[in-house]
Amino acid sequence: MRPTLRTFIVFCLLIAAACAGVPPTEPVGAAPLSLDIRTSTVPFKIDEPGARQIGRLIWRGGISMNANSSHFGGWSDLTVSPDNRTLTSISDNGAWFTAEIGRDSSGTLTGLGKGAMGPLRDLTGRSLGRDKSWSDAEGMARLPDGSWLVSFERHHRIWHYPTLDGTPTAINLPPGFDAQPDNGGVEALTVLADGRIVAISEEYSLRQNAAIGWIGKPVGPDRYLWDMFEYMKIPRFNPTSIRELPDGSLVVLERAFDFLRGIRIRVMQFPGAALKGDAIIDAEELARLASPYAVDNLEGLAATTGEHGETLLWMIADDNFNPLQRNLLLLFELAK
């Protein structure tokens, strides 16, 4: 082959390898670790410093994050406390992460402090370890009693954690849950105000552009009665997170990636009344994020109420332990 073609192919292979990322080979430490979190602000739109809104999202600040641990990264989902002062996240490398949130007098996100991280545990109380097939945590949701649900890919399952550093129990799963693609399971997971679980598969579908979702009604400790629905999407975009808003509607993050166009994110919304067994849900697009806007592999979403009654949307990025990507935390206000 010609040198120019050979050079181009080698370049593409190098980029592909870099984008795959290299997670740490050693397991997350058995005990929680205090974090020295280093943050830097990121612009909303690189080529337009004065930009503050895209679609129905109003910019309220963003930061890039690093810390004193090789395990800091891979953040796959997100919750923020009702007072907007602390965040909790999980990593697809089998870790949890907490930190205090810094905002200025106008409510703009400025940084993080007092961070900590530690290992998620298996059903015997041991750290999940370095086996990716068991440590790939992707979705999280907080139950009304303060305990947690965490969904995992590869060995598809949902575990119930009393605390994120505690020993979980397994909940019963809906029919078809184990039919999901190995790396395309439930990333979008939430618990509604009435206690029902909503879970949407990233890639499992029974027809084109219709992701399978499940609604679980609690009927006893770790027991749910399940219904199935379909979540309509467009080619290449897959759901990665879901949260209920104060008005009862739901917001979904969808992500797409290819080497030509890079990472693109759709922020979608649909009414809570649409969540029924056998429903076909067709959500409304609120905004679409792509370069030159602040964007990376946004997988986690949190929704809270601001000090003036506004709805805040928080988004966290999974850097895949890849030097070409960033651990981002972004904050938006949802325009009325």
Q: What is the CATH number of the domain that holds 221?
A: 2.120.10
**What is the full per-residue pLDDT of the chain (336 aa) written as tens digits?**
444 444 333 334 334 444 456 677 666 766 789 999 999 999 999 999 999 999 999 999 999 999 999 999 999 999 999 999 999 999 999 999 999 999 999 999 999 999 999 999 999 999 997 788 899 999 999 999 999 999 999 999 999 999 999 999 999 999 999 999 999 999 999 999 999 999 999 999 999 999 999 999 999 999 999 999 999 999 999 999 999 999 999 999 999 999 999 999 999 999 999 999 999 999 999 999 999 999 999 999 999 999 999 999 999 999 999 999 999 999 999 998
Note whether residue 20 is domain-resident: no
Structural domain containing residue 297: 34-334
pLDDT tens for each residue of 188-199: 999 999 999 999
Note whether residue 191 is domain-resident: yes
Note whether residue 25 is domain-resident: no
Note whether residue 214 is domain-resident: yes
Note whether residue 134 is domain-resident: yes
Note whether residue 10 is domain-resident: no
Note whether residue 3 is domain-resident: no
**How many separate domains does the chain show?**
1
What backbone phi and psi angles, to 5 degrees, belong to 119? -85, 145
